[in-house]
Amino acid sequence: MKQFAVIGLGRFGTSVATSLYKMGYEVLALDSSEEKIQAIVNDVTHAVVADATDEAALKALGLGNCDVVVVAIGQDMQASILATLVLKASGVKRVVAKAQNDLHGKVLEKVGADQVIYPERDMGVRVANNLVSTNVLDHIELSEEHTIAEVLVPESFFSKTLGQLNLRARYGLNVLAIKRNEQILISPTADDYLLKGDIIIVLGEKDRLARFQHK
């Protein structure tokens, strides 16, 4: 089984360490703060107070045998860089290091980090993507304002009729057709149900379609 170590138990490091432990992996958590170690002692396999820049201490703890070590020290860039350097020198296969900014990240790469992560930035990108992630599979722009789109039916629409959903009044969208498996139902009526897996072909204003996508 893979062995992990997490160095630096801020919010990020704590989350990584406890999540891996919950998934059933062996996790060694290390921090120079006694308080941080006390707080995590029941949620990881081993928790040790040590200075991550102390090469002898890291060796004595056997960190070189870990498959992956996450360096999650944030503010103290010097410590994070030194720890990364020492870990790679002691033979850790994979060091994942958290960077505060671009320059920090570049230095981490230079000293041997196998992966550099920017948690705040990466999460920001993910949240932004989620916010605009759509059920729209395809679309044809009819004009600056109007579009025809193929939309995967959202869960909240399952087993409801077009009449109940009232998409025309609520979103200004006209349902031109429903695609179900290999069949296509042209000009559906208010009594037609939408089912899981259905794709509706709608005509409407782009802006209103965008709002509909976020439902």
Binding stretches for ligand ATP (CB under 6 A): 7-13, 31-33, 36, 51-53, 73-76, 79
Our CB check for ligand ATP shows the closer of 43 and 192 to be 43
Tell me the residue nearest to ligand ATP as measured from the CB. Answer: 74
In the complex, the smallest distance separating the C-beta of residue 4 from ligand ATP, rounded to whole angstroms, is 16
Our CB check for ligand ATP shows the closer of 10 and 188 to be 10
In the complex, the smallest distance separating the C-beta of residue 53 from ligand ATP, rounded to whole angstroms, is 5
In the complex, the smallest distance separating the C-beta of residue 113 from ligand ATP, rounded to whole angstroms, is 16
In the complex, the smallest distance separating the C-beta of residue 203 from ligand ATP, rounded to whole angstroms, is 47
Our CB check for ligand ATP shows the closer of 75 and 130 to be 75
Our CB check for ligand ATP shows the closer of 12 and 21 to be 12
Question: Are residues 177 and 188 in contact, defined by beta-carbon separation less than 8 angstroms?
Answer: yes
Question: Are residues 145 and 206 in contact, defined by beta-carbon separation less than 8 angstroms?
Answer: yes
In the complex, the smallest distance separating the C-beta of residue 50 from ligand ATP, rounded to whole angstroms, is 7
Our CB check for ligand ATP shows the closer of 31 and 198 to be 31
